[in-house]
Amino acid sequence: MKRRALFGLIAAFTLSMVAVNPCYAQKPVTLRLVQWKTEAREAIEDIIAEFHKKYPHITVSMEIPGQYDSYIQAKAAVNELPDVVGLYGTGLFDYAKSGLIQELTGAPFLSRCTPFSLRATTDQDGRVWGLPIDGSAIGVYYNKSIFQKYNLEVPRTMAELEKVCTALRKNNITPFALAYKDAWTIKMAAVTCYDNYVYGPYPDWTELRDRGQVTFAGSPEWRQVLDALRFILSNGNTNTAFETDYDTAAVMLATGKSAMLVQGLWALVGIRSISPEMDLGMFAMQAFWPDAKLVHFTDLCLCISADTKHPSEARLFLDFLTQQQAALTWCRGARLFSAVKGVKPDFDPITGDIFAYIDRGDTTTVHDRTWWSSFNTTFEKVLQEWMVGSTTDAEALKKLDDLWDRAKASGNR
Amino acid sequence: MLSILLVMIAVAYMLPFAFAVTSSFKSKAEILLSPIALPRSWSVRNYVEAIKRSNFAISLMYSLTITATAVAGITIAGATAGYAIARSHSALSLALLSFFGMSMFVPFQTIMIPLLRTAMSLRIVGSVPGLILIYIGLGCPLAVFLYYNYMRAIPRALEESAVIEGCTHLQVFRHIMLPLARPVTGVVAVLQGLWIWNDFLLPYLILQKPLTIPLNQVYFYHSFNRDWNYIMAMFVLSTVPVILLFLCFQRRIISGLIAGAVKQ
Amino acid sequence: MASRRTRYSTLGLALPALALYSVFFVWPLASGLYLSLTDWNGLAKTCNFVGLRNFAELLGDSLFVSSIVVTLKYAAFVTALQVALGLILALLLSSERIRFRPFLTTAFFLPKVMSAAIISVIWTFLFGNAFRGALGLIGMENTAFSWLGDPDRAIYSLGIVEIWHGLGYYMIILMAGITAIPSDVLEAAEIDGAGLWEKTFHVTLPLLAPTIGVCAILAAANSLRAFEIPFIMTAGGPGFSTTTLAYFIYNTAFQSKQFGYGCAAALYMLAGIMAVTLAQLRIVQRKGVEY
């Protein structure tokens, strides 16, 4: 009788210990996290450190590999996708369709995200495949001090933009910092244009193109995009544009050699690391189209691999990321918006400008999400080829048409 | 004088190394802002960070292990096959020779994709031993040819007397032929060793982790931007051991490469 | 019979090489042949058989055709200069009149010991930032001259890197060839009154012809496969002006996820390289000089 009571007491004691401190009974777990934003490294590592303090038995190890896309593609092909993997745009839905990432619909932490950000990870059937992390914007950075010095205003028409560029050039400042060695930056410039001129009047342009009702070559809107890009190219460091890379262009803006830079919000970290106190603003490319909106979208999304051995720990991590404290750490470190509701984005003076657009509803989202993936990867190179003068406007647009048709035929959206 | 001119040209030839060294002590911003000036301060921060982030010590070990093991495997596989073909009289041997000869023309790109697929189905993607086996498979044809050529010329008298005394073929091979073929072994080691040590694409596709020196070099060369400061530090770290090794074994390496070229 | 047993047991020794070679080379080659007839996209579990469609489509693909042109331009430029400069250096460095020969030999050979990936990274920096920085010292940093940014020039800039990389190798081979020339032939020429020019042009070079041929074949075979240098230095750009055939294949397979298409292109590459190498062998054999 006494022995049984003793046994019961010990069992109760052990159980209560486990209940009170679940980690006591848990094996240490390592979660592998992979994403591509080098600018966000410190922010995420800070969050990881906080997470580890709360759950000592879980260690998150992050890697930021070079050649990101082919890296995770290769990993996926051999069922070795990391536990938590960063995905974006159409790629996210490609992986969802191939059954490589877990569905997260209904997870409680999703309710802490803004509906806007969730659109990036929700497919057409309403199923959610990842956790949105950031909010980003693509627009024209501009050096407010330089603008003030020469009495320049944010240009809202073509004439005003021309005036700004002329004034800058007269004072030996390169108007636009061009980083066109990295073809993806061409896409950034193109995005601010086509998301407005093409998808503004025709939000379903992609479907129209698939049905053959419109073409690149026959579209005056795309010609407008080319004209705009041509203007930007001739008002920047034209001679060195194709050997200047993303980092060098950020340096040009930061040191005042150049006054404007068409880029996404993620470039802020690099610029601030050189000029922390610089007075920076951002505007949408209204000069070419008065109703132009600022491109605002969710870039980084974290997904859980379908084959992960630690699904519950991975979900714990995602849940932690949606806590206010983690979201604030993210904002301050990565200098990007957070997808979490109610987080005040005052991590940088530039957010004032961006928020002005968001408040007025003057934002548009990125539309290459609907494009065929093999078209996506070659689009910017065709533009780059056009920019160096190897093809005419008509030839470049025709090339885009051919590319689109071939991408459609091979069926990978 | 012509000699002086040549020396000046040779020094200019080494300019890339000089740049890498001076840049490796600068911060990323400094590299971009003043690319050709001497560093403001000779801080080793880049080296420390690069070593930490890219697991340099581990990758050095991996590169050494992979290269040494694969070269050993190529030598053994090539020598055994070369001996076998050299000593057999059947039509089979000629067929085998042409079979191995196929690989001389085929560029890596042609088999790259299906090789990756084969590796996937054998489940050796990401595995270092798997990579070594692939290197042996791809690298042995050259060794087979070199050993075949050399052993064909060795008179059979030596082996025949050994067989009469009761040795098996394996013993004959190990104790007589292999030692005699030492010059070929040297050539094979240098040619294939240099290729494997510096190879980029195959480990990139198979390992997918920066586990070898060339892969580490590209580790900081991201899809969207480059960490020049770490790249430069890595460059210096990666090339110093190779240069030292080279200077020590210069003569052997050069003669090995020449012999290999001439045989082709 | 003893001889048959010996025959087979010795062939048994070839098994390790045969096995690994078949698994990792022959099988992929065969399966590449098969894959080129499908539309596999690299991710899906199944794919469709499409016959020769990939091969036909490639011929009409302007990117494929331009990648061949780019590769040929690159290979011709690199081969010609590597052999020519290698020859000049070899002649100079074999002459007793030049001093510091060990140092010079090492210096020119050193780049060969490094991997293409590593030197590509450094040269990207040199052609871009360092070059502009140097020009900046004389206030000319905005000049339109661009090594890597000019679509007509970029492929030749890449060629310069390849030449820098491999020059020492061919120089060494040619130096070995020069030392192999028997001295009595040269002495005979001297006795006949030949000066330095005549000795070089009428004796050394003709005897060196087979070696020069070998160098040309090696250099061509190597440069026709150019991948790392365009991959790292320009990502095939600007536009497509430095997209070599090898890079095109990599892109088609791993970026555009068209594996079947990429395999077909790779088979065209094999055919092309075989054709070029065989043609070169023909020329070398025909022009071989006996003395």
pLDDT tens digits, A140-169: 999 999 999 999 999 988 899 999 999 999
Structure token digits, residue C163: 């030449």
Band (A12; pLDDT cuts 50, 70, 90): low
What single letter denotes the amino acid at residue A268?
L
Which residue is it, tokens 């979660």?
A31
| ipTM, two decimals | 0.79
Q: How does DSSP classify residue B123?
A: T
State the pLDDT confidence band at C287, using cuts at 50, 70 and 90: low
Strand partners, A263: A139
C150–A374 C-beta distance less than 8 A: no
Q: Which residues does residue A62 pair with via DSSP β-bridges, in sequence order?
A: A33
Q: For residues B125 and B109, give the distance between their C-alpha atoms in angstroms, rounded to a whole number.
A: 18
Show the tokens assigned to A398. 């025709």
The whole-angstrom separation of Cα A396 and Cα A392 is 6
In tens, the pLDDT along C19-33 reads 899 899 989 888 888
Give the mean pLDDT of A307-330. 91
pLDDT band, residue A25 (cuts 50/70/90): low
Count contacts between A and C (CB, < 8 Å).
Answer: 105
> What stretch of H or E contains A294?
strand A294-297
Q: Is the pLDDT of residue C2 over 50?
A: no
In this prediction, residues C142-147 reach a mean pLDDT of: 81
Query: C223 to each of A81, B187, C74, C159, how far by Cα in Å?
Result: 35, 23, 7, 9
CA distance B198 to B213: 8
Q: Which of A66, A74, A77 sits opposite B219 (nearest CB)?
A: A66
C residues 57-96 near B, CB within 8 Å?
Answer: 92
Evaluate whether B201 touches C228 at the Cβ level (below 8 Å): yes
Q: How many CB atoms lie within 10 A of CB A232?
A: 28
Q: Is A30 helix (H, G, I), strand (E, B) or coil?
A: strand
Rounded Cα distance between A176 and A253, Å, is: 9
Nearest CA in chain C to A95: C43
Neighbors of chain B by Cβ distance (3+ pairs < 8 Å):
A, C
**A23 pLDDT above the threshold of 50:** no
Is the predicted pLDDT of residue A19 greater than 80, yes or no?
no
Tokens of A161: 């933009």
Chain C residue closest in CA terms to B4? C99
Nearest CA-CA distance, residue A268 and chain C, Å: 22
Residue in B116, B126, B226 closest to A247 by CB: B226
Task: Tell me which of C56 and A73 has the higher pLDDT.
Answer: C56
- C-alpha dist (Å) from residue B156 to A137, B148, B163, B164, C263: 78, 14, 11, 12, 46
* Residues of chain A found within 8 Å of residue C129, distances taken between Cβ atoms: 248
Q: How far is CA C79 from CA C32, C212, C246, C248, in A?
A: 29, 11, 17, 21
A294 in reach of chain B (CB within 8 A): no
Q: Supply angle C-alpha B135, B138, B144, rounded to 5.
A: 110
Q: Scanning the structure block, which residue is given the tokens 């007839």?
A: C37
Residue C138 DSSP symbol? T
Q: What is the pLDDT along chain B (264 residues), one digit of tens a residue?
A: 778 888 888 888 888 888 888 888 888 878 877 777 788 888 888 888 888 777 788 888 888 899 999 999 999 888 888 888 887 767 777 788 888 877 877 888 788 878 888 888 888 877 889 899 999 999 888 888 888 888 877 777 777 777 777 777 777 777 777 787 887 888 888 888 888 888 888 888 787 677 787 777 777 776 666 778 888 888 888 778 778 878 887 777 777 777 766 655
pLDDT of residue A18: 47
Full-prediction pTM beyond 0.95?
no
Q: Which of B208, B224, B227 sits opposite A182 (nearest CB)?
A: B224
Q: State the smallest CA–CA distance between residue C187 and chain B in angstroms.
A: 25
Contact C153, C147 (CB under 8 A): yes
For residue A246, the chain B residue with the least C-alpha distance is B225
CB contact under 8 A, C149 and A388: yes
B225–A66 C-beta distance less than 8 A: no
Does the pLDDT of residue A370 top 80, yes or no?
no
> Which H or E element spans position C243?
none
- For residues A26-52, give the mean pLDDT: 89
Contact B32 A248 (CB under 8 A): yes
Is beta strand A29-34 parallel, antiparallel or unpaired with respect to A84-87? parallel
- At CA A370, angle to CA A369 and CA A376, rounded to 5? 70
Over chain A, what is the mean pLDDT? 86
- Backbone phi, psi, residue A176, to 5°: -105, 135
- Summarize the confidence of residues A85-110 as an average pLDDT: 87
Place of tokens 């088609």: C252
